A and B are shown apart, each in its own frame.
Chain A
């Protein structure tokens, strides 16, 4: 689900500052707005492609941290320290999920890019400035871009589900470990932690493949 920027922003905004900035943005003189319109018809797609690319590049580093954290936990005999490490892991996964959540920046740009491609295709079918073969060429290119953008957003959906699943696994295990400690079952808690690190490694490897396989549109 995509909410528009003002909607996404609404809850968190320092409202007056935000309102003023958006008002200023909307009130921009024609030249700037026109410049944006003129600059590049494909800009929302490019923007999405760039954001996606940047996100993909950030994933291996974060994934490496996740793997390292799992390795650290594996060697620990102190349950409390291991719990703190799991907490850190949740933060890492949460950061990744933040980028691809439905109201996160990458997903928002994906929706914007798809809207743009669909609008473009709609207007091109009524376009009379070009020869039929020229128009057909443009339509074919936009169709190609549409397929690529749809594929990328579909893969982002899969990544989002994976991140969410991993975060849920972490939080449920952490809760269980907490309960075990309350009844002084430290040994059992350590077992749970070790089994959790295996799950984390598997999920992390899968995520690397999934994210690495996403092809930004137009590339």
Chain B
């Protein structure tokens, strides 16, 4: 009985946590491709301050809230190197390729912005 109650309590709390943390509002996608393709990337990448799990087989598609994100990588002495900005738009995919052999890694946008505000950012 205690076990069942424990399980129910856990399920309720996990459910509530997920519901509270579910992305609200508009979402889009970031496709990160890494070159060279490896089973999993060694370099840690961050979207804003959020560390991403290693990218498997050279590609990952991440659901993100709409807005501009900073793609960063672990760099010397534990500091983060900013690679590029990524503009996430509603129901669209923004693709960026990261060359992980370079130090620091380098971003190559599939499409870059054409106006002053997004000239150095990857757009969809």
Binding site for B on A (CB under 8 A): 1-5, 7-14, 17-18, 21-22, 24-25, 28-29, 31-36, 38-39, 87, 90-91, 93-94, 97-98, 101-104, 157, 160-161, 164, 167-168, 171
| Chain B at the A interface: SS class | mixed
Query: Within 8 Å CB of B14, what residues of A?
Result: 25
Interface size grouping (class) on chain B: 35 or more
Whether A35 pairs with B2 at a CB distance below 8 angstroms is yes
B65 proximal to A (CB < 8 A)? yes
Whether B93 pairs with A171 at a CB distance below 8 angstroms is yes
Whether A1 pairs with B53 at a CB distance below 8 angstroms is yes
Query: Within 8 Å CB of B23, what residues of A?
Result: 11-12
**A132–B1 CA distance with the chains assembled, in angstroms:** 35
Could you list 19 A-B pairs, sorted by A, with CB under 8 Å? A1-B52, A1-B53, A1-B62, A5-B18, A9-B21, A12-B24, A14-B20, A22-B17, A28-B13, A32-B10, A34-B6, A35-B3, A36-B7, A39-B3, A94-B27, A98-B27, A98-B63, A101-B61, A101-B62
Which of B16, B51, B60 is in CB contact (< 8 Å) with A102? B60
Query: Within 8 Å CB of A14, what residues of B?
Result: 20-21
Whether B62 pairs with A24 at a CB distance below 8 angstroms is no
B72 proximal to A (CB < 8 A)? no
Query: Within 8 Å CB of A22, what residues of B?
Result: 17
> Closest Cβ of chain B: how far from A25's Cβ, in Å?
5
Contacts beyond the supplied A9-B21, A11-B65, A101-B61: 14 A-B pairs with Cβ under 8 Å: A1-B53, A9-B18, A12-B23, A12-B65, A21-B16, A35-B2, A38-B3, A87-B91, A93-B91, A94-B29, A101-B29, A102-B60, A167-B29, A168-B93
**A7–B14 CA distance with the chains assembled, in angstroms:** 15
**A13–B31 CA distance with the chains assembled, in angstroms:** 22
Whether A7 pairs with B57 at a CB distance below 8 angstroms is no
Whether A35 pairs with B93 at a CB distance below 8 angstroms is no
Whether A17 pairs with B20 at a CB distance below 8 angstroms is yes
B116 proximal to A (CB < 8 A)? no
Binding site for A on B (CB under 8 A): 2-7, 9-10, 13-14, 16-18, 20-24, 27-29, 31-32, 47-48, 50-57, 59-65, 91-93, 95, 124
> Closest Cβ of chain B: how far from A89's Cβ, in Å?
9
Whether A32 pairs with B20 at a CB distance below 8 angstroms is no
Whether B20 pairs with A164 at a CB distance below 8 angstroms is no
**A89–B59 CA distance with the chains assembled, in angstroms:** 24
Q: Which residue of B lies closest to A26 (CB)?
A: B13
**A157–B29 CA distance with the chains assembled, in angstroms:** 15
Whether A167 pairs with B92 at a CB distance below 8 angstroms is yes
Which of A4, A10, A91, A103 is in CB contact (< 8 Å) with B63? A103
Whether B62 pairs with A171 at a CB distance below 8 angstroms is no
Which of B21, B27, B32, B47 is in CB contact (< 8 Å) with A18? B21
Whether B3 pairs with A157 at a CB distance below 8 angstroms is no
Which of A7, A29, A91 is in CB contact (< 8 Å) with B51? A7
Query: Within 8 Å CB of A167, what residues of B?
Result: 29, 91-93
Whether B21 pairs with A39 at a CB distance below 8 angstroms is no
**A199–B65 CA distance with the chains assembled, in angstroms:** 28
Whether B92 pairs with A90 at a CB distance below 8 angstroms is yes
> Closest Cβ of chain A: how far from B30's Cβ, in Å?
9
